């Protein structure tokens, strides 16, 4: 009885405990079966490549990993090139000077402090290049077994993957030289993974081979009428035009003096030079011929395809219309000037995480608050590259003497004509592309997206102006430097930023474009001594913005020293200048600098513009450091029309290399970036670039 | 049954007062009513000697106070010529041929000796002796007699934890327990719990110990310390092997109080504390800032930014609005905040029901000024804890225990999204002239715009009006940039039900125990947002009607003050349960005692944070233990854990973790008798065993096939990076022309390894316990060694071109060893003066043996061969001076190396060319120098003395062989988030920087510079600062009153005490608290606390 009682109470308690503590669980399990199974429905390699839909998605995933040339992310994770703590290649050229002191432009590059322990702008290890290559091979190796895909679709998908792989290889090749060639996926358990860097030429050939294999399987353009071939749904995919243009760009790079020369760019003592991974070991004119051929092939193919790719032409011969034509040529996703674009975001908005726009200029007002993490101030040197509106070269000294800059007839950016009642009319006086590559004093805040007409307030970039309120003064109070992060050089970034008219518009970065193609063609022709033919294509690019031909314009110039358009070197330098004006913010200025070993672009001191608004007091014109927007404008005072300009040297963020000779090895090592030391230390055969 | 929903009330009424009145008190009352035992009267617990008629032979039984037979007790006749006596048998019976009435002495180890008159059928109840021999220790899944414990463990009792009120018991553990390291890095209310390590770090993975409260894995930081009976730390393999894959980092066992048979005892404590932040680092004034800034430009040969007119403005303080000199930490931090802790607990019971019921309230004000906002956001914290522990003897052999406990807490934070650490950092980043703060209720910001500081008036261009060169930052963002608050509310409910069934009817000494626990929590939050206006100071000069020039400050308003809006949302939940079933056997056969345990447990946790949140985390374990001792003299123990973790592939989930230990009480040996006068006790211990750790890092389910993600719809820009990994990266793409429909993407998200397994730690421990002078001096010493293998690591030697991060594998090896000693002296002088001194000291050494780091140029750069957390840094030699080259060559025998910059100036640091290649580059950075963030030595000193009713106790803790690295603004003048030239400046920089005027070769800071920054601010031993400290952690002075009226009230204790926490610290470290991190992440200041407490006992 007693025993029974004890047992009973035990059982009762047990069941109570059981009910209390298992009520919330589905069933009672013990031991190994209690441990949950691994998550069900897990997606693996087999899942993806057993489904046409997932395989297509996997291809989309490769597109995501393409290079995007505008940093916009607040992240230091891979891909490093997209972080605004990094910087843009353009900031290392003579065209732009980065003023955001938190960026690596300042801490690593201008201070000449980069080492092989740091990540370069396009990071060898941390830009997802090798991940992309691995993923491309995953697709290529596994696509055969995917059910529900036609052979032609498979071929087309492989071709797209190969283009992406070639483009990612090019992203590294253009700043590092020869690379290890990856021709299949790895497991990581291979054991010996010894792989040397391929020579620069072999690396170029590897990319070209991939593209050559891809070209026959791709469409020339997505201009069809079906949902698989139309522009609305497919623009942005690789085309045979893209593949051919990239091939031309690779071969152009391959033929350029950096690699294709009788002398290596460094001192010839390094392993990298001996291994021909950072130059070819000799100069061969055939390399230029080969690049020229690739350009011609592109042009012929475009011709055969009804010249689908073309320059976006102006609808009227006005400065605004030229600007609009140039702008829509690169910014509008449907532009037929774009051969290949990459995308990372949707439409811009002030809440988006696409912070390229938000951090170039604030979206609600033009002055603040920042942070202006993309304060790539266009330099005076860059602005001076832009001709007068008719095409006549600009020349600070000559034009200053001629009274074109300061004084009553000063028309540095705009000609001001006093109309009835004191109203002022403005007419842009320079190459229309200037206003699309640098915000200059007096320029309207907006160019209407649809109508292409200037509107809104003017940018006031004079000392004390509405947009340029901050300056650096010396101990005596004399202003020596502009200091806003937004307009640090007296100019502001506008390419890919535009103005508030860009709000709500779809974003992209142009990877390859038709205007670049024309200028590459011109360069190859010039390198192959066909100077007149070359100028034809340069002039085609200039004509789009209403400028006269190069030869004619130079003849008109009153400059003391003028380039000779019958001289091969002079023509090439003019093409490079034209590329800078046409292809702002595209990395091309950086590529040109290293391709042509232009150390002097790194060592020359750069300048900004100091502008004063002048008011007439009695007979004198005096500085007026008040803004116009606000008080004066509200009071009905006429728009400021007279300014005084002077130059200042960028000091706040000066570059250490400015004190060096262009031939100094410390400068020349910069023609290629350092490979990461950690990677070299792995000892599988990677050799360091010279000087690092 | 109550559910978490019952506690879920509207956040808007989460006013503290309302909360207590409206919810907590009724709840506590109901709870008490449910569980309270009506009659708490005392029942006689002692059976006494029962005499019967006189006989020649007497037989009787010896039992203990639980009614159990005492086996092997000796029964001898007192005063007999020869020793006449016997021992009790298995049932506690004895028979002795003596006359009834004879004096018998009954003794047994661990019990008080008794002299009784012999009587037939007598029943003798031995009382347990209150000595160490009888004391028990909490061990894994049970308790053990202290004398027979052979593993390494240390424990601390409640009274040592509650001397001064702290929110978290974590914070007073260091120095109390040998072998325990704590690092308290933040003083943020409700988030100030110290990190705990047991015997240092044995792995670079997760090295935090397993924490159990009443035998179930639970958090300890939010328990009311008044509820705690004891804290025990299990350190060696013998003590922790039964936890299998969970025990390698040590185990902390917390036991809560339980009722004992007796009159209801009510204890109430109330304490009020004043908290002041331990020192913030002082910042420079505006004038000093400007002068130092200009001097730094002079060093670099660049133009001054502060003009003389601006400097004069600072100097003369003529315009405190546009040229203020703010002491921001004073401005935004309160000098003193209030903390209260109240607890009422009732315990007692009768023969069948015992109870402990406790309710506690803890509040701590936030330190940050709230500037009269109508809501709280200054990091305030309040917590209500409740607990009811109930033991019911349902039958004579069945005990049911039921615990219910929980907490409700509230905390608030600014809406800015900044952590408190970030907020503190903003104080250091700020300039003293960025804003004058609030002036006449307006928040003013300064402007350096020329147009806001009109310098000219027509016709009067001569005067130069000073304008700030830049304004820099303010730390006011927490209340001005995104005004508002987050107010959090957490409810936690925990229950245990334990059934203990004595199975003596099957075989004596056998019992079965079943246990079930359920824990849940539910969190809600309120987001409060509003807008606040700011005003920009605009300097204006104008000409009035009479033609005179006047100057005035105007304000440009931005934004509007709006009324706050509120949004409530659920902010998290958790639920887990644990069940356990065990068989216990414990019995003595003569002098042999055997015990055995077999236990099965399983647990399940839902809503896991991070990966696979929908899949519950589960554990199962099988535990067995056998202990043997002979006469408490020779001990042997064998422990075995067999358990599994879901982290590993099926078939590889379960592991066996054996451990064994031996103990020998040498002092019980006959040969020891001669020295027993001095050495009253000596026990030698040794243990060996294998323990695991499944908290290895990486994601869960690392063993599965390489995971792919498909149907990704988010664009790349939306990718949420988490520290370098791309978990959750978006892979959709927008093709087309102005087409907003993203094309879905797929990708390979990681590479996995089917062979991953847990970390294994082979541990050895050798120790002794030795007491001297009649146990007045007690010492314990342990030496341990650990060999940790299979630590999860990535093989970074594989080339990057393979295109993926190699999967985790169990490559890593860490060796560690150390020793612990504790010395405890306890004595009294005269009748009324008692005192005790307890000292403990721990040393821990560890070294990474293997971690597959990427290849380095030099051996000294590898983490392997160094302590976990070793620092890669240049070796600082001296500050440069002309002629340093020759001295360097003399000292090192190699030419002066080219430094990181091309030109050194006097006062720049010189680094040593470790690899001797003639130049300094990152390959000269070494891990050979200095210490790490966690100390090698930790010491604790506890002093207590009492004289009559007065008692004083003090706890000192100290640590050495520990360092901190200065970073951020502590290292570089004028650093802030974005720039190196517009940030904050420490007073310390002013006082301790090498300058041409004060070229001190031993200056703490090198010459200030921007152009040589990569040299002067490179990571080097120059920036590593000794952070050893000795701190008076707690001090209590208490007085017990004995007033006559107390008897009337039934009051048997009335104690008034004053106490302090973190009262003073001796340290060479100048940059705030040595425990806090003064590198790039300074934190919420640790608090110094002054408390007055009242304790009542009924």
Contact A473, B469 (CB under 8 A): yes
Q: Are B353 and B391 in contact (CB under 8 A)?
A: yes
Cβ(A171)–Cβ(A127) below 8 Å = yes
pLDDT band at A475 (very low <50, low <70, confident <90, very high): low
How many cross-chain Cβ pairs, A to B, lie less than 8 Å apart? Answer: 320
How many Å lie between the alpha carbon of A595 and the closest alpha carbon of chain B?
Answer: 25
The C-alpha atoms of residue A378 and residue A134 are separated, in whole angstroms, by 38
Distance, CA of A25 to CA of A27 (rounded, Å) = 6
Between chains, do A130 and B715 touch, taking CB under 8 Å as contact? no
| Average pLDDT of the residues in B1051-1072 | 88
Q: What is the pLDDT of residue A675?
A: 96
Asked if B393 reaches chain A (Cβ–Cβ under 8 Å), the answer is no
- Answer yes or no: is pLDDT of B707 > 90: no
Nearest Cβ partner of B501 from A10, A234, A483? A10
Output the pLDDT for position B1043: 87
Mean pLDDT of A522-527: 98
DSSP for residue B582? E
Whether chain B has a CB inside 8 Å of the CB on A1: the answer is no
Instruction: Give the ipTM.
Output: 0.91
- State the helix-helix crossing angle for A240-255 and A151-176, rounded to 10 degrees: 20
**Banded model confidence at residue B38, pLDDT cuts 50, 70, 90:** very low
A203-226: average pLDDT: 97
User: Considering only residues 72 to 91 of chain A, which have any Cβ-Cβ distance to chain B shorter than 8 Å?
Assistant: 72-73, 75, 77-78
pLDDT band for B167, please (50, 70, 90 cuts). Answer: confident
Q: How many Å apart are CA A346 and CA A508, to the nearest integer?
A: 9
pLDDT at B190: 77
Mutate to test the interface with A, among B402, B463, B471, B708 (most CBs of A within 10 A): B708
Residue B57 has pLDDT above 60, yes or no: yes
Q: List CB contacts (< 8 A) between B726 and chain A.
A: 77-78
Check if B804 contacts A (Cβ < 8 Å).
yes
Residue B737 has its nearest CB partner, among A17, A232, A345, at: A232
Beta-sheet strands, E only, within A401-482? 414-418, 424-428, 444-447, 454-458, 471-473, 479-482
Which residues of chain B are within 8 Å of residue A117 when distances are taken between CB atoms?
Answer: 922
B516 lies within 8 A of chain A by CB: yes
Pick the residue with more confidence: B108 or B665? B665
- The per-residue pLDDT for B542 is 74
**Which residue among B449, B517, B731 places its CB closest to the CB of A61?**
B731
Q: What pLDDT, on a 0 to 100 scale, did the predictor assign at position B39?
A: 34
- CB-nearest to B731 from A31, A64, A622 is A64
Which tens digits make up the pLDDT trace of A58-116?
999 999 999 999 988 877 778 899 888 899 999 999 999 988 877 888 888 998 888 88
The percent of residues in chain A predicted with pLDDT above 90, rounded, is: 67
Q: Is B855 on the interface with A (CB under 8 A)?
A: yes
Q: For residue B456, name the pLDDT band (cuts at 50, 70, 90).
A: low
CB contact under 8 A, A60 and B499: no
pLDDT higher for B312 or B42?
A: B312
A642 to each of A388, A395, A418, A639, B288, how far by Cα in Å?
A: 19, 20, 11, 9, 42
CA distance, residue A152 to nearest chain B CA (Å): 21
d(CA A358, CA A372): 8
Q: pLDDT-based confidence at A597, cuts 50/70/90?
A: very high
Residue B7 pLDDT: 38
Q: Is the pLDDT higher at B21 or at B438? A: B438
Instruction: Please determine, for residue A437, whether its predicted confidence score (pLDDT) is greater than 90.
Output: yes
Please indicate whether, in this complex, the C-beta atoms of B799 and A679 are within 8 angstroms of each other: yes
Cβ distance A344 to B716 less than 8 Å, yes or no, reads yes
Paired with B837 in beta bridges are: B825, B943
pLDDT tier at B157, thresholds 50, 70, 90: confident
B720 φ, ψ (degrees, to nearest 5)? -100, 105
CA B644 to each of CA A32, B243, B602, B620: distance values in angstroms, whole numbers, following the listed order = 8, 10, 10, 6
Name the least confident of A493-497, B184-188, B470-474, B908-912: B184-188
CB A169 within 8 A of CB B782: no
Provide the token pair at B82: 């020869």
Give residue-wise pLDDT tens across range A173-191. Answer: 999 999 999 999 998 888 8
Please give, rounded to a whole number of angstroms, the shortest distance from the CA of A347 to a CA of chain B: 8
Q: Which residue has the higher pLDDT, A59 or B1065?
A: A59
Decide if pLDDT at A19 tops 60: no
| pLDDT for A616 | 84
Length of chain A: 692
Residue B629 has pLDDT above 80, yes or no: yes
A417 interfaces chain B, CB cutoff of 8 Å: no
Checking if the pLDDT of B279 tops 70, the result is no
For residues A74 and B728, the model is more confident at: A74
Q: How confident is the model at residue A455 (pLDDT cuts 50, 70, 90)?
A: very high
Cβ atoms of B864 and B882 within 8 Å: the answer is no
pLDDT of residue A353: 66
SS (H, E, C) B479-548: HHCCCEEEEEEEEEEEEEEEEEEECCCCCCCEEEEEEEEEEEEEEEEEEEECCCCEEEEEEEEEECCCCC
Nearest to B210 by CA among B252, B180, B238, B169: B252
Question: Using the beta-carbon criterion (under 8 Å), do B854 and A681 form an inter-chain contact?
Answer: yes
| B618, closest residue in chain A (CA to CA) | A35
Would the CB atoms of B797 and A234 count as touching at under 8 Å? Answer: no
What's the half-sphere exposure (Cβ side, CA atoms, 13 Å) at B883? Answer: 0
pLDDT at B415: 87
Taking CB atoms and an 8 Å limit, are A21 and B516 in contact across chains? yes
A629–B contact, CB cutoff 8 A: no
pLDDT at residue B44 tops 70: no
For position B459, what pLDDT does the model report? 54
Q: Give the closest-approach CA distance of B620 to chain A in angstroms.
A: 6
- Give the confidence band of A261 by pLDDT, cuts at 50, 70, 90: very high
Average pLDDT of every residue of chain A: 89
Contacts of B280 (CB under 8 A, 6+ apart): B329, B333, B424, B427, B1072, B1085
Mean pLDDT of A594-620: 92
pLDDT at A538 over 90: yes
Residue B295 has pLDDT above 90, yes or no: yes
Average pLDDT on A397-401 reads 92
Q: What is the pLDDT of residues A323-376, one digit of tens each?
A: 999 999 999 999 999 999 999 888 887 656 677 877 776 544 444 445 677 788
- Rounded to a whole number, what is the distance in Å from the CA of A416 to chain B's nearest CA? 25
For B:716-745, CB contacts with A below 8 A are 716-718, 721, 723-726, 730-740, 742-745
B602/A34 CB distance under 8 A: yes
What Å distances lie between residue B569 and B382, B488, B614, CA to CA?
20, 10, 20
Q: What is the pLDDT of residue B1093?
A: 94
pLDDT tens readout for residues B472-494:
889 988 888 788 999 999 999 99
Nearest-neighbour CA in chain A from B252: distance (Å): 25
Cβ-nearest to B450 among A14, A346, A471: A471
pLDDT tens-digit profile of B571-590? 888 899 999 999 999 998 88
Distance CA A111, CA B967 (A): 20
* Residues B891-941: tens digit of each pLDDT: 999 999 999 888 899 999 999 999 999 999 888 999 999 998 888 999 999
pLDDT band for position B9 (cuts 50, 70, 90): very low
Per-residue tokens: A389: 């509106």
Q: Which of A413-417, A553-557, B16-20, B678-682 has the lowest mean pLDDT?
A: B16-20
| Residues contacting residue B517 through CB under 8 Å, at least 6 positions apart | A21, B214, B215, B216, B494, B495, B496, B497, B577, B578, B579
B645 in contact with chain A, both atoms CB, cutoff 8 A: yes
A631 Cα to chain B: minimum distance (Å) = 11
- pLDDT, position A654: 83
Best mutation target among B4, B434, B652, B801 (most A Cβ atoms within 10 Å) is B801
A263 interface with B at CB cutoff 8 Å: no
- The model's pLDDT over B202-222, given as tens digits with 9 standing for 90+, comes to 888 888 899 999 999 998 888
Cα–Cα nearest to A505, from A312, A321, A332, A327: A332
Q: Measured between CA atoms, how close is B885 to chain A, in angstroms?
A: 23
When pLDDT is cut at 50, 70 and 90, the band that residue B849 belongs to is: very high
For position B12, what pLDDT does the model report? 38
Q: What is the mean pLDDT of residues B79-90?
A: 76
| A236, A469, A682 member nearest B449 (Cβ) | A469
C-alpha B894/C-alpha B913 separation (Å) is 9
Residue B883: how many other CB atoms lie within 10 Å: 8
| Chain A: closest CA distance from residue B1 (Å) | 9
CB contact A552 to B (< 8 Å): no
What integer pLDDT is reported at residue A244 of this predicted model?
A: 98
Asked if pLDDT for residue B8 goes beyond 50, the answer is no
Region B328-337: mean pLDDT is 89
CA distance A499 to A414: 19
pLDDT of residue B1069: 86
Residue carrying structure tokens 């009035």: B544
Give the best residue of A12, A15, A38 to mutate against chain B (max B CB count within 10 A): A38
Select the more confidently predicted residue: B922 or A378. A378
For residue B259, count other CB atoms closer than 10 A to its CB: 24
CB < 8 Å to B1011, chain A: 111
Mean pLDDT of chain B: 85
In sequence order, which ranges of A332-392 are alpha helices (DSSP H)? 355-360, 380-383
Residue with tokens 């069900």: A40
Residue A275, SS3? coil
**B922 vs A contacts (CB less than 8 Å):** 115-117, 677
Query: With an 8 Å Cβ cutoff, are A48 and B746 in contact?
Result: yes
Residue A3 has pLDDT above 60, yes or no: no
The CA-based angle A541-A544-A549, given to 5 degrees, is 60
Mean pLDDT (whole number) for B495-516: 93
Instruction: Test B718 with A235 for CB contact under 8 angstroms.
Output: no
At A522, is the pLDDT very low, low, confident or very high (cuts 50, 70, 90)?
A: very high
* A17:B497 CB<8 A: yes
Q: Residue B408, exposed/middle/buried by CB under 10 A (0-12, 13-18, 19+)? A: buried
Q: Is the pTM of this model over 0.90?
A: no
Q: What CA dihedral angle connects B311, B317, B321 and B327, to 10 degrees?
A: 90
pLDDT bracket for residue B42 (50, 70, 90): very low
């Amino acid at each position: 009885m007693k025993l029974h009682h004890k047992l009973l109470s035990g059982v009762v308690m047990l069941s109570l405990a059981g009910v209390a503590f298992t009520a919330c669980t589905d069933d009672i399990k013990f031991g190994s079966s209690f441990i949950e199974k691994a998550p069900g429905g897990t997606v693996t390699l087999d899942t993806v490549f057993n489904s046409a839909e997932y395989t297509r998605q996997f291809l989309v995933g490769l597109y995501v990993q393409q290079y995007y040339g505008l940093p916009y992310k607040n992240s230091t994770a891979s891909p490093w090139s997209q972080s605004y703590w990094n910087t843009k290649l353009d900031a290392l050229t003579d065209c732009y000077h980065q003023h955001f002191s938190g960026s690596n432009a300042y801490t690593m590059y201008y201070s000449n402090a980069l080492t092989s322990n740091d990540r370069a702008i396009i990071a060898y290890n941390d830009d997802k290049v090798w991940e992309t290559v691995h993923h491309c091979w995953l697709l290529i190796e596994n696509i055969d077994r995917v059910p529900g895909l036609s052979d032609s679709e498979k071929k087309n998908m492989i071709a797209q993957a190969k283009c992406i792989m070639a483009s990612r290889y090019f992203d590294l090749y253009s700043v590092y030289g020869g690379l290890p060639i990856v021709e299949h996926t790895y497991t990581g358990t291979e054991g010996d993974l010894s792989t040397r860097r391929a020579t620069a030429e072999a690396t170029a050939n590897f990319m070209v081979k991939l593209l050559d294999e891809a070209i026959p399987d791709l469409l020339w353009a997505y201009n069809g009428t079906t949902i698989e071939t139309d522009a609305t749904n497919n623009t942005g995919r690789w085309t045979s035009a893209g593949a051919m243009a990239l091939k031309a760009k690779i071969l152009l790079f391959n033929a350029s003096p950096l690699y294709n020369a009788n002398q290596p760019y460094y001192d010839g003592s390094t392993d990298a030079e001996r291994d021909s991974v950072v130059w070819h070991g000799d100069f061969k004119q055939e390399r230029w011929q080969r690049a020229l051929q690739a350009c011609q092939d592109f042009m012929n193919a475009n011709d055969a395809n009804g010249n689908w790719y073309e320059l976006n032409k102006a609808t009227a011969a006005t400065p605004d219309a030229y600007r609009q034509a140039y702008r829509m040529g690169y910014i509008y996703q449907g532009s037929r000037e774009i051969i290949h674009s990459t995308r990372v975001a949707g439409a811009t908005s002030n809440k988006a995480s696409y912070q390229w726009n938000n951090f170039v200029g604030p979206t609600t007002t033009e002055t603040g608050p920042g942070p202006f993490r993309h304060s790539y101030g266009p330099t005076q040197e860059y602005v001076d590259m832009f001709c007068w509106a008719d095409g006549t070269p600009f020349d600070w000294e000559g034009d200053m003497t001629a009274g074109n800059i300061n004084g009553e007839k000063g028309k540095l950016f705009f000609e001001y004509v006093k109309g009835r009642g004191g109203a002022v009319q403005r007419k842009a006086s320079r190459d229309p592309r200037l206003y699309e590559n640098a915000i200059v004093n007096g320029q309207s805040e907006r160019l209407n997206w649809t109508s292409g007409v200037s509107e809104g307030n003017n940018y006031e970039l004079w000392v004390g102006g509405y947009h340029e309120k901050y300056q650096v003064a010396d101990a005596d109070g004399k202003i020596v430097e502009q200091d806003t992060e937004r307009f640090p050089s007296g100019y502001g970034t506008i390419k890919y930023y535009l103005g508030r008219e860009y709000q709500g518009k779809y974003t992209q970065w142009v990877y390859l474009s038709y205007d670049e193609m024309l200028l590459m063609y011109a360069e190859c022709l010039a390198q192959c001594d066909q100077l007149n033919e070359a100028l034809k294509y340069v002039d085609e690019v200039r004509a789009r913005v209403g400028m006269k031909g190069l030869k004619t314009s130079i003849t008109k110039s009153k400059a003391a020293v003028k380039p000779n358009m019958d001289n091969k070197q002079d023509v090439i330098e003019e093409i490079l200048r034209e590329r800078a004006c046409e292809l702002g913010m595209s990395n091309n200025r950086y590529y040109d600098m290293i391709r042509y070993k232009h150390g002097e672009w790194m060592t020359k001191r750069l300048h900004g513009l100091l502008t004063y608004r002048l008011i007439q007091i009695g007979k004198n014109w005096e500085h007026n450091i008040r803004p116009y927007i606000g008080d004066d404008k509200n009071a009905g005072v006429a728009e400021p029309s007279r300014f005084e300009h002077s130059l200042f040297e960028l000091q706040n963020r000066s570059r250490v290399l400015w004190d060096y000779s262009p031939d100094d090895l410390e400068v020349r090592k910069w023609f290629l970036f350092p490979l990461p030391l950690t990677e070299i230390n792995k000892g599988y055969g990677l050799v360091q670039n010279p000087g690092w | 049954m109550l559910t978490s929903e019952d506690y879920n009330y509207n956040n808007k009424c989460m006013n503290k007062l309302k909360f207590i009145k409206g919810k907590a008190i009724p709840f506590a009352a109901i709870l008490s009513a449910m569980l309270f035992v009506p009659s708490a009267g005392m029942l006689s617990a002692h059976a006494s000697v029962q005499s019967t008629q006189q006989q020649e032979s007497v037989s009787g039984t010896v039992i203990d106070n639980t009614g159990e037979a005492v086996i092997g007790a000796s029964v001898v006749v007192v005063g007999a010529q020869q020793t006449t006596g016997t021992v009790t048998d298995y049932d506690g019976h004895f028979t002795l041929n003596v006359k009834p009435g004879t004096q018998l002495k009954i003794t047994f180890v661990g019990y008080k000796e008794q002299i009784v008159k012999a009587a037939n059928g007598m029943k003798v109840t031995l009382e347990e002796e209150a000595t160490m021999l009888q004391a028990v220790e909490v061990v894994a899944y049970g308790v053990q007699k202290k004398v027979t414990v052979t593993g390494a463990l240390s424990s601390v009792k409640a009274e040592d934890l509650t001397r001064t009120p702290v929110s978290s018991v974590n914070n007073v553990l260091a120095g109390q327990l040998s072998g325990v390291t704590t690092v308290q890095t933040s003083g943020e209310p409700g988030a100030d719990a110290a990190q705990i390590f047991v015997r240092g770090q044995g792995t670079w993975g997760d090295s935090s110990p397993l924490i159990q409260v009443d035998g179930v894995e639970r958090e300890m930081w939010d328990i009311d310390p008044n509820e705690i009976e004891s804290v025990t730390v299990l350190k060696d393999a013998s003590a922790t092997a039964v936890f299998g894959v969970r025990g390698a980092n040590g185990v902390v066992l917390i036991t809560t109080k339980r009722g004992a048979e007796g009159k209801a005892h009510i204890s109430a404590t109330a304490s009020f504390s004043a908290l002041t932040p331990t020192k913030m680092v002082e910042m420079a004034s505006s004038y000093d800032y400007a002068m130092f800034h200009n001097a730094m430009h002079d060093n670099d040969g660049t133009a001054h930014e502060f003009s003389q007119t601006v400097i004069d403005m600072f100097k003369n303080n003529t315009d405190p609005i546009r040229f203020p000199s703010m002491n921001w930490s004073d401005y935004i931090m309160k000098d003193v905040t209030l903390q209260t802790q109240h607890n009422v607990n009732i315990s007692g019971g009768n023969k069948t029901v015992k109870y402990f019921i406790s309710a506690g309230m803890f509040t701590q004000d936030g330190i940050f000024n709230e500037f009269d906002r109508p809501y709280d956001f200054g990091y305030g914290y309040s917590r209500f804890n409740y607990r009811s522990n109930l033991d019911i003897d349902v039958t004579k052999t069945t005990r049911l225990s039921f615990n219910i406990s929980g907490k409700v807490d509230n905390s608030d934070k600014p809406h800015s999204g900044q952590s408190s650490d970030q907020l503190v950092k903003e104080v250091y980043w700020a300039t003293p002239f960025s804003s004058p703060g609030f002036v006449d209720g307006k928040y003013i910001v300064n402007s350096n715009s020329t147009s806001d500081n009109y310098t000219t008036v027509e016709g009067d261009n001569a005067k130069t009006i000073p304008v700030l060169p830049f304004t820099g930052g303010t730390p006011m963002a927490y209340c001005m940039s995104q005004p508002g608050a987050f107010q959090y509310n957490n409810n936690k409910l925990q229950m245990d039900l334990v059934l203990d069934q004595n199975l003596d009817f099957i075989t004596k000494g056998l019992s079965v125990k079943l246990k079930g626990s359920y824990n849940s929590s539910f969190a809600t939050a309120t987001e409060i947002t509003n807008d606040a206006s700011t005003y920009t100071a605009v300097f204006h000069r104008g000409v009035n009607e009479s033609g005179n020039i006047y100057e005035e400050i105007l304000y440009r308003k931005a934004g509007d003050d709006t009324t706050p809006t509120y949004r409530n949302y659920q902010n998290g939940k958790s639920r887990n349960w644990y069940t356990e079933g065990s068989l216990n056997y414990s019995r003595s056969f003569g002098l042999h005692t055997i015990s055995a345990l077999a236990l099965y447990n399983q647990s399940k946790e839902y809503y896991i944070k991070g990966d696979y949140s929908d899949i519950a985390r589960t554990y199962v374990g099988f535990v067995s233990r056998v202990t043997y001792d002979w006469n408490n003299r020779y001990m042997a123990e064998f422990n075995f854990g067999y358990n599994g973790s879901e982290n590993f592939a099926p078939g590889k989930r379960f592991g066996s973790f054996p451990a064994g230990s031996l103990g020998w009480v040498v002092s019980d040996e006959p040969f020891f008798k001669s020295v027993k006068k001095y050495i009253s006790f000596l026990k030698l211990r040794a243990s060996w065993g294998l323990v695991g750790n499944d908290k290895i890092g990486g994601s869960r389910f690392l063993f599965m096939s390489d995971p792919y993600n498909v149907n990704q719809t988010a664009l790349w820009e939306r990718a949420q990076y988490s520290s370098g990994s791309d978990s959750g990266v978006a892979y959709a793409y927008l093709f087309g022309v102005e087409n907003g429909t993203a094309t879905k993407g797929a990708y390979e998200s990681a590479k996995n390894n089917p062979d991953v397994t847990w970390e294994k730690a082979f541990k050895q421990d050798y120790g002794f316990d030795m007491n001297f002078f009649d146990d007045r001096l007690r010492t314990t010493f342990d030496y341990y060694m650990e060999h940790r293998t299979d630590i999860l690591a990535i093989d970074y030697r594989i080339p990057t071109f393979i295109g993926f991060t190699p999967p985790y594998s169990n490559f890593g090896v860490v060796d560690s060893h150390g020793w612990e000693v504790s010395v405890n002296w306890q004595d009294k002088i005269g009748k009324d003066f008692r005192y005790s001194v307890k000292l403990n000291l721990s040393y821990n050494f560890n070294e990474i043996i293997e971690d597959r780091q990427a290849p380095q140029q030099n051996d000294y750069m590898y983490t392997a061969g160094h302590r976990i957390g070793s620092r890669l840094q240049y070796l600082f030699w001296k500050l440069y001076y002309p002629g340093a080259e020759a001295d360097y060559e003399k000292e090192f025998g190699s030419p002066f190396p080219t430094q990181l910059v091309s030109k050194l100036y006097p006062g720049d640091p010189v680094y040593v060319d470790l690899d001797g290649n003639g130049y300094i580059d990152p390959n000269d950075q070494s891990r050979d120098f200095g210490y790490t963030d966690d100390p090698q030595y930790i010491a604790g000193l506890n002093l207590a003395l009492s004289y009559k009713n007065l008692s004083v106790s003090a706890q000192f803790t100290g640590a050495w062989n520990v360092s901190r690295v200065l970073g951020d603004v502590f290292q570089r003048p004028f650093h802030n988030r974005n720039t190196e030239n517009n940030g904050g400046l420490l007073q310390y920089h002013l006082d301790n920087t090498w300058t041409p005027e004060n070229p001190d070769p031993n200056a703490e800071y090198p010459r200030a510079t921007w152009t040589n920054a990569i040299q002067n601010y490179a990571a080097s031993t120059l920036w590593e600062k000794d952070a050893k400290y000795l701190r008076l952690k707690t001090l209590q002075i208490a007085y017990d009153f004995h007033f006559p009226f107390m008897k009337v009230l039934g009051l048997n204790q009335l104690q008034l005490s004053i106490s302090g926490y973190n009262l003073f610290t001796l340290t060479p470290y100048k940059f705030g608290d040595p425990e806090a991190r003064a590198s790039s992440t300074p934190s919420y200041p640790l608090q110094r606390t002054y408390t007055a407490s009242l304790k009542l006992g009924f």
